[in-house]
A and B are shown apart, each in its own frame.
Chain A
Amino acid sequence: MATAELVYPLAFPKSIAHKCEICGKTASRMCAKCRVTFYCSEEHQIADNVGIHDKICPTLATLRSKQPFLPSEEERRDRDHEIREKKLHLIEVTRMIGERHVFQNRYDAAIPAALASLKLAMDVYGPRSVELIPSYLILSEASLGLKQLNQCWEYLSQAQYTVLQQQNQAPPAITSQVARNMAQLSIARKDYDEAARHLANDIYDASLYYGTEHYKVAGGYFLLGKVFKLMNRLEVTESLYTQVTQMWYYHLRRLLQSRVVFSDMDAILGKNDDEDEEDETTKSSKLDLATEAEAHNTLQTLLAYRLENHHGNPMIQELNKIYHCFTILYFLARDYIQVHDSMNKIKDCNVKEIDDDQQRILKFLDQLNRMKSLMKRQQQEN
């Protein structure tokens, strides 16, 4: 890499021994831009660069460089505070990047990002805190994706041990996530009973935290359905998948309805929304990347299941629900071409709600097109 610089381990002062970011071996290369990140080999450097280092290089430089001595206590406190804030921000950023990599199935890029977030979190919170668990979870998902089951098991055990140590302080949302990932590992190991047990724990915790009809619990139900399908008990799968469809359907419809439709129009016309208003209204109705990816995957699997298992007479209502969910999903992600596609797949639908929603969407798209053509004409005139 152009930004690499060779360093000699023996040249460092006695107490300093730089280790590789990825594997922890003695480092012989250094990133030339920030000069504080070290690697043992070119592959590791490339992997880290692709994963995360590109995006956080300058920030790392300020964080890891040796701080000059400040004379007053106050100034030192302020500086420490600043550094902590930066680290916290960085933890979030690295986690998000790691998650995005996982959704896009780029597992080898996800690992450096998650590792970076883990190290920063350990710095800030200490090695035993509950805050490290999300990083562990990303690492476990990535290693599962790379089929390294033992690594995955290690990371998850770490997460579980942390939960155990802080028994009453781990919020159920986190324990449910841990259980979910453990279940995925068990599925990969073909230990379906264990998986069912973990998923039961997951669903219970998630229901406790979010409420029994929340869409976050749907992930657990979905995996449980998968487990029963692999155990060949299809009637259970059937009822579970129906439930999942129902939950996502409900959630997406709610998003559609609560979404302030005109904020989109305003954005086109160049108006500025009130900062506060947007936060309040769109917080609950935002479809963030994680949920979107999850919904997409889930719905596709559900659709495939429905189409393959009922060759003769598919449950039309269920199919329509799934297609409608797709419609809303594409609409919220502003993928308007797909919206029309999936709307056309809905046949024979007698449900008033779906019709209502479709009318709304069509009306909105119509207005959008008209606006766009108006603006084009204006531009042409100008």
Chain B
Amino acid sequence: MAQTSISRTKSKAKTTGKKEHSEFYRNVILPSVTYKVGSLLETKDVALTYKKQPSLGKVDIEKHRNSLQRELSIDMLRQGYHQSFRELSTLLAWQKEDRERLATEHPLYRRPLLDEEPDKLRFLCVYLNKAEEAERKCQYSNMFKSYLEVASFFIKSDDYWLSDFFHKKCLSLTETYSQLDSELSSQAYFHVGLSYERQGYLGDLLKALEYFEKYREFGGNYYEGRINANHQLVRIYTKLAERQSNTDALKYITKAYEASIQTDDKKVESSISYKLGLIYLEHNDIDSALKYLEQYYNYCEQVNDHEGFGQASEALAICYQRKSNVEKSTKYLTKYLQKVSTNANDKQYVKACSALGLIDAALGNYDSARKYSKKAYSISLNKKYPDLDRYRVLYGIADGLKLQSFFKDRIDQMNTHALLEWKLTRFENYLIKSKP
């Protein structure tokens, strides 16, 4: 009994998945001839529908066989865009050659070859075709615009070698067809200058400088262009100044200043004047330094830029100190201190204190120097500012300088014993107490 029930459940489990066929169906109908003929008809239908499918034409077969480059090139040639075809093949060949030239471990290798990136290739082809079309109709501005589009596309996808190439093409266009709109030509110069700047070597920076100058020249009638050009020039000059030695740096910063005046942007102008002031300070040309630093100082005051104000005050104080004009330097610093003392724990406050301490130490007011640097040190200790070590050192210096005279006296008297005692404890009282 148990066995038969098990077998019954088994067979039930099997047939529940499929359609339930009765025994009669299975044994009589399925093997019959009419059924077989019917299924044949089904397969015949399938065959007919297969035949009705359109067969691939020659062109489609070729599409499946050819590489992407070949297909795109053939498309372009069929429509007569032979220049685009040649550009494309030179670009791809150039990239491969470049890869071969570089060592195999170069990180550039990780990026796929242009061959294998279909959307980039297609985009490139479309725009090359547009450019060629425009060239045929002598619409050089359209040609320029298509090249510019391609270049900006490749900038977005980080392919700088391509975008540089196309920017240079734009530039050569402007140089050959001088009746082009000056706005476009100025843009060409701008982009080429940027690409040189990006490459970062000194020679390239100088070249970039040339191009930015030309940009300014050409953007002359065009207000925004001029402003932008001057901004770029300011940037380039500062970069060059950073890289170069002192004498050249001064030249570059002065030029940057001239450019910044023309940008109509007070902020840029004053920051450059600050840099100029610093450079003059380095060269010990105090008067010119003062002029520019004061400009920066006034601007920061206007705009309530505390940090800038602090920098300016510091710099001015150093100038006056070099000029040995004690009152003025202290005046500036105390002003700074007052301004910043609204928030006693502010970073600026700490800086102000330490600056004042430094100046005082240089001038010989050891007491006040010590007081201020101690303040700076304690606040930065509390707040755990990153410049803690600096303030610590300054405090130590101020402290030491204060005790300097006593120290010297002791040495004169050859009172080594007292000195040693003091060294052990380093309390001031030891030294001062035994002053005769």
Contact = CB atoms under 8 A, between A and B. Distances in A.
Nearest to A228: B80
A263 interface: no
Given A200-B74, A224-B80, 12 more contacts: A200-B78, A204-B70, A204-B74, A224-B77, A233-B80, A235-B137, A236-B136, A239-B83, A239-B132, A239-B135, A243-B82, A243-B83
Interface in B61-93: 70, 73-78, 80, 82-83, 85-86, 89-90
A199 B86 CA distance: 15
Given A204-B77, A221-B82, A239-B82, A197 B59 contact: yes
Interface in A265-300: none
B80 A197 contact: no
A199 B82 contact: no
B70 A240 contact: no
Please list the 4 inter-chain residue pairs (A to B) with the smallest Cβ-Cβ separation, ordered nearest first.
Answer: A200-B77, A236-B80, A200-B74, A200-B78
Contacts of B89: 207, 212
B72 to A, nearest CB: 10
Contacts of A224: 77, 80, 82
Interface residues of A, number: 21
Contacts of B70: 204
Interface in A134-163: none
The interface residues of chain B, by DSSP majority, are classed as: helix
Interface string B125-167: 0000000100111000000000000000000000000000000
Q: How large is the interface on B (under 10, 10 to 19, 20 to 34, 35 or more residues)?
A: 10 to 19
Given A221-B82, A240-B80, A204 B136 contact: no
Contacts of A233: 80
A199 B136 contact: no
A134 B123 CA distance: 39
Nearest to B132: A239
A243 B135 CA distance: 14
Contacts, number: 51
A196 interface: yes
B78 A196 contact: yes
Contacts of A204: 70, 73-74, 77, 85
A201 interface: yes
Contacts of A203: 77, 82, 85
26 contacts: A193-B78, A196-B77, A197-B59, A197-B78, A199-B77, A200-B76, A200-B77, A203-B77, A203-B82, A203-B85, A204-B70, A204-B74, A204-B77, A204-B85, A207-B85, A207-B86, A212-B86, A213-B86, A221-B82, A224-B77, A224-B82, A228-B80, A236-B80, A238-B136, A239-B135, A240-B80
Interface in A219-276: 221, 224, 228, 233, 235-236, 238-240, 243
Contacts of A239: 80, 82-83, 132, 135-136
A207 B83 CA distance: 13
Contacts of A200: 73-78
B74 A240 contact: no
Contacts of B132: 239
A196 B86 CA distance: 17
Nearest to A200: B77
B69 to A, nearest CB: 9
A236 B80 CA distance: 6
A207 B77 CA distance: 12
